[in-house]
Amino acid sequence: MALPPPSYCFVAFPPHTKDGFVIVGKNSARPPEEVQEVVYFAAATHDPGCKVECTYIEIDQASKTHAIALSRPSWLWGAEMGANEHGVFVANEAIVTKEPASETEALLGMDLVRLGLERGATAKEALDVIVSLLEEHGQGGNYYEDGNACHSFQSAYLIVDRKEAWVLETVGKYWAAEKITEGVKCICNQLCLMTKIDAEHPELRGYAESQGWWTTDAEFNFAQVFSQAENHPDGCLGNEILEKQEGHSELRQGLNKQRILFGPFQLKRLWKS
């Protein structure tokens, strides 16, 4: 099973940042020939019973969608990352787990980024939207426009607002999430949640046990249970870099030096309140 190219996204909370800002950022490891665009969609209301056409499938539309700004490959409906009018930021990482990702066309992880932003006014609301739609519609399909081969992946998300962040990692319809309110956090193309889990799919542990990946007499370590051995050898180096930096300028210097992260921006300046 092919591994996704390495990419990273991060969040930093005060006092690791100056002026009390929450700073988030992500790099893109999409194919170099792929067209990337930054797009804005205004808030809207929708008639009852109408549908929305995502990248591969059609689903029920929400009665109201928030204004959003997205960074995305131009050929798909969703996004790699974006933010909405309420100061919620969501970014996606493609990951490989013991559970093979489905090639059947369903919601892409990048579709779920956009759906979470359109329908969630807080980080927790966006998380709830994503896991609800994941349960209802599943995830699957080609992550790339090239139709000659299908590259499907599971998904991890960094979901942030002005008060808190959630790291959400998925394995098919199953998921686990960690809440973060201080310090720094970086996620990449491998599972990083371990034993600190603040929310999870109700059948997550039962599924792991049914597959022979975990027994109830052992501590439940999400990454250990669901990871493949051949994940990226460098791990999430961004965490080590971020923990050594304090302040906005120092964050930029540390990240740019490693050439793995770029473009941090401040949630409080996304929209004027």
Please identify every residue annotated as catalytic.
9
Closest by Cα among 129, 159, 137, 4 to 62: 129
Closest by Cα among 16, 8, 7, 9 to 184: 16
Look up tokens 């409080």; give the residue: 268
- The C-alpha angle 212, 94, 146, rounded to 5 degrees, equals 115
Alpha-carbon distance of 46 to 68, in angstroms, equals 16
Q: What residues does 160 pair with on adjacent strands? A: 89, 165
Closest by Cα among 49, 26, 8 to 263: 26
95 φ, ψ to 5°? -135, 160
Closest by Cα among 240, 237, 205 to 222: 205
Alpha-carbon distance of 117 to 82, in angstroms, equals 7
